[in-house]
Structure 1
Amino acid sequence: MRPFVVLAGAGIGACALAWLLRVIESTKSCHITNAISNEFEPIRYKFNSTIYIINTTEKCRKVIRMFQSQCERFPVLGFDCQWEQYGSYRKKVALLQLVCDGGLCALIKLRDMDEIPSELFRLLGDPSILKVGMEPQNKAYNLWADYRISVKGTLDLSTMYVSCGMYYTRSLAELALKVLNRNMMRMRPLRDSDWNQPILNAYQIKYAEEVAYVSFELFLKLGEKAALCSMWTGRKIWLSELRSKFSNEIIYSNKYNRSGECLMVVDDLLNPMFV
């Protein structure tokens, strides 16, 4: 009887130790987030991606040059934005998320920068670089309305999904589950968190990275199903065929909102409901 008690006690002790290590690791993640807020240093999470949190013009210039170099080899960006919304009112876009081939991820805090660098305008305005995501045209419209940033070459993942014989959906979580077998439902509440706070917490960073990264991965997966040739025949040929197939769906102007939903942008300081 004693060996069983000893083994049971050891098992409980191991479980308790594993739980304690998870708590410590979670705490470390939060400290890492605060530590990098004023440094141009990347952090890494579960997707083997390199994440840069950008809050100054000079940092933005540096990271966009990295993106431009990667896009010369494979001109596709996972693209998303975050802002706070209250009914028919919204604040300005607070965060721009970009992911490119090679796992480079940038979380750009637009409202923290004194000036948006010309490098970012050129990257997003380059029609030869695809910007893929869920309803990217609506986010492009908000960037134009808030900062006069022109985003050209957007492609909606829902359109690609429908071309594969599936029904239309506006949910990235649903697409991720059906196409990548990745469950993102637990992270959905973070979409409505405070994206204007000075330092993003670890959970916001994970959510922002995952949305942009999953958008990029969905493009690759849906592209494999939609294209006639395999990516192994050559990435440039494969991508050229996709661009040709979805030529009528790639949007080169962002001066209108494709969904027809019109939200009033408010100044936080003038409207007491947002203070």
Structure 2
Amino acid sequence: MLKTKAFRCTAVACHTFTQRAWHMSKGGGDYQSLLVQQLDYAGLVRAPLQNKPVYILSDADKASNAVRILYNAAPVVLGFDTETTVGRKEHPQAPSLLQLATSEACLLIQLYRISKGDPALFPPPISRLLGSPRILKVGCNGSLDALLLETSYGVKTRGVIDIEMLAIVHGIPVQSLADMYEVWGDDKDTLQKAHYSGKVGELDGIFEWDWEGEMRREMIEYASKDAFASLTIFQNMMNWKRKAGWVSYEKRRPMTKEEELEDVWTFISANRKGQFQKMQTLLQWLRNSYPRYQKTKVEPDRTQALIGNLRDLAAQGRFFFVGTSLPTNSTPSDSSESRPLPLSDAEFLAQTYQVPGQTLHTLLSNMDPNILREVLPAQEAGAEDIASFVIKLSRFLEHPMRVGSMVRQVMNEAVQQRMEKWDDKEWIIKMLKLLGGKGLVKMRVDGKVEFDEIWVEKVRTLAQIAQEKKMEEIG
């Protein structure tokens, strides 16, 4: 509870500070239009887009000149974001691209292309602008971008505002920049940055984009939209302006308490089967992962609702209790029937439980090779053996993940364990596409990849049949 109170207090303090800065920025004149004129006059080439001016800066001199012009224009607030090329073996966490946006123009600065990850080659004008506390840098999870800039290039970024923190003050739960744009974006616009067909075999998403090379039109649009959108969201938040006709997720998709409880259990059993863990660990995972509450509840309401759900599920016997005994209302000499004492939240969350069933990874790892062949596609001549890939992948895909995040996790583990092929981004993507083409995995509309539920059910059914047959033989 103390953490959730502190979190909300931080959000309120953030909002108070940004309100002051926002009022200071109002009436700041038409520096943006002058800024565009100065950038054009400096010979900086605009990207071939039909909307607001976007400037791609891929060498130190042009980047320094553009940022000096921006700094001298004395902006109060900038949209702020970074992008990082997935799979770079040298300096893998170093941001590749820095996006800075006013309401009329955006700078896309290819930091890694300019510096090659060397802090000594980082342009000083960019360091000065980032380090200025009088210029607010607003973005979704901007503090993480600032941290990566500091750890990679030694550059401190001050005046960073995480706009998702401001959303908490408004009492609206959000998961992403796109979610916030649906509430505080332009009335006639959506932040539709990517389209997925649902087929992993057709992947050409951002995890394959090289932010250090020549930037294609879709990359320019993607990167600039993030920065422009962050600024728009911040401005509308400060004005308490929401999109016309916006309706909360809870009102669009209502659930009864019973339906919600079953939905929580379905989510737990689909992702945590066979696992032993403390309720506190399960609570933390649900708080960060359960989709409905991510869209309908903010802290501390989210935590309290989840504790209530977990207590109800435990009371219904959905979990297996793991331990010696629960506290009771009887003494050793008491002959009356003992009854469990009510547990405080802290005591309840300290208990260890098991979710019935087995994880997909456990099922595949222990499956008879002959049965395993039934659930895997037939091997084509010269194709790699995909059995080991599917088994390994099942550990990472216990729940849907963004492809870029999953690829990074697989590669990081491969580097640590010195696993051949697994540290090769191209090979991982090739195997994902192969599985997608065979119907084992699929891409969701939100850009996350997951195992196909029909295939997973087939695995579980065959495993159950094999287990029953084994029990009959023993009997």
- Counterpart check, 1:61 vs 2:61: no
**1:50 offset after TM fit, Å?**
1.7
C-alpha change, 1:108 and 1:211, in structure 2 (3 Å) is same
Q: Is the 8 A contact 1:53 1:108 kept in 2?
A: yes
* Greater Cα radius of gyration, structure 1 or 2: 2
Q: Is the 8 A contact 1:97 1:108 kept in 2?
A: yes
Counterparts of 2:64 and 2:71, CA distance in 1: 11
Amino acid at match of 2:114: M
C-alpha change, 1:121 and 1:186, in structure 2 (3 Å) is closer
Q: Is the 8 A contact 2:85 2:212 kept in 1?
A: no
- SS at 1:183's partner residue? coil
Amino acid at match of 1:176: Y
1:184 corresponds in structure 2 to 191
1:195 corresponds in structure 2 to 210
**Count of paired positions:** 191
**1:46 offset after TM fit, Å?**
4.4
Matched-pair identity in %: 23
- SS at 1:43's partner residue? coil
Q: Is the 8 A contact 2:184 2:232 kept in 1?
A: no
Counterparts of 2:82 and 2:62, CA distance in 1: 19
1:119 corresponds in structure 2 to 125
Counterparts of 1:112 and 1:46, CA distance in 2: 26
- Counterpart check, 1:104 vs 2:111: no
**1:183 offset after TM fit, Å?**
2.6
Q: Is the 8 A contact 1:132 1:219 kept in 2?
A: yes
Q: Deviations over 1:213-248 (max 9, x none)?
A: 01111111011119xxxxxxxxxxxxxxxxxxxxxx
- Counterpart check, 1:273 vs 2:431: no
Q: Is the 8 A contact 1:136 1:154 kept in 2?
A: yes
- Counterpart check, 1:224 vs 2:226: no
Counterparts of 2:141 and 2:93, CA distance in 1: 19
- SS at 2:167's partner residue? helix
Q: Is the 8 A contact 1:75 1:130 kept in 2?
A: yes
Amino acid at match of 1:80: D
Amino acid at match of 2:47: I
Amino acid at match of 1:51: V
**1:45 offset after TM fit, Å?**
3.0
Correspondence 1:210-221 to 2 at 5 A: 210-221=225-236
**1:92 offset after TM fit, Å?**
2.2
- Counterpart check, 1:173 vs 2:178: yes
Q: Deviations over 1:10-39 (max 9, x none)?
A: xxxxxxxxxxxxxxxxxxxxxxxxxxxxx8
Provide structure 2 residue ranges, at least 5 long, that are not aligned to the other structure.
Answer: 1-42, 116-120, 197-204, 242-408, 416-421, 427-475
Correspondence 1:225-244 to 2 at 5 A: 225=240
Q: Is the 8 A contact 2:95 2:112 kept in 1?
A: yes
- SS at 1:98's partner residue? strand
Q: Is the 8 A contact 2:97 2:108 kept in 1?
A: yes
Q: Is the 8 A contact 1:95 1:107 kept in 2?
A: yes
Match of 1:43 among 43, 47, 51: 47
**1:123 offset after TM fit, Å?**
0.0
Amino acid at match of 2:175: R
Q: Which has the higher strand share?
A: 1
Q: Is the 8 A contact 1:67 1:104 kept in 2?
A: no
Amino acid at match of 2:69: M
Amino acid at match of 1:111: Y
Counterparts of 1:210 and 1:184, CA distance in 2: 7
C-alpha change, 1:136 and 1:186, in structure 2 (3 Å) is closer
Q: Is the 8 A contact 1:160 1:223 kept in 2?
A: no
C-alpha change, 1:59 and 1:172, in structure 2 (3 Å) is same
Q: Is the 8 A contact 1:95 1:195 kept in 2?
A: no
- SS at 2:194's partner residue? helix
Q: Is the 8 A contact 1:130 1:153 kept in 2?
A: yes
Greater relative contact order: 1 or 2 (C-alpha under 8 angstroms, separation 6 or more)? 1
- SS at 1:225's partner residue? coil
**1:151 offset after TM fit, Å?**
0.6
| TM-score normalised according to structure 1 size | 0.62
Counterparts of 2:184 and 2:96, CA distance in 1: 29
2:458 corresponds in structure 1 to none
C-alpha change, 1:203 and 1:85, in structure 2 (3 Å) is same
Correspondence 1:75-114 to 2 at 5 A: 75-85=76-86, 90-101=92-103, 103-114=104-115
Counterparts of 2:240 and 2:105, CA distance in 1: 25
2:26 corresponds in structure 1 to none
Q: Deviations over 1:116-137 (max 9, x none)?
A: 2111000000011100000000
**1:198 offset after TM fit, Å?**
1.6
Counterparts of 2:61 and 2:71, CA distance in 1: 16
Q: Deviations over 1:57-114 (max 9, x none)?
A: 10011110121133x2x3111000001346xx9442111111024x121111111114
Counterparts of 1:80 and 1:164, CA distance in 2: 22
- SS at 1:195's partner residue? coil
| TM-score normalised according to structure 2 size | 0.37
Amino acid at match of 1:173: A
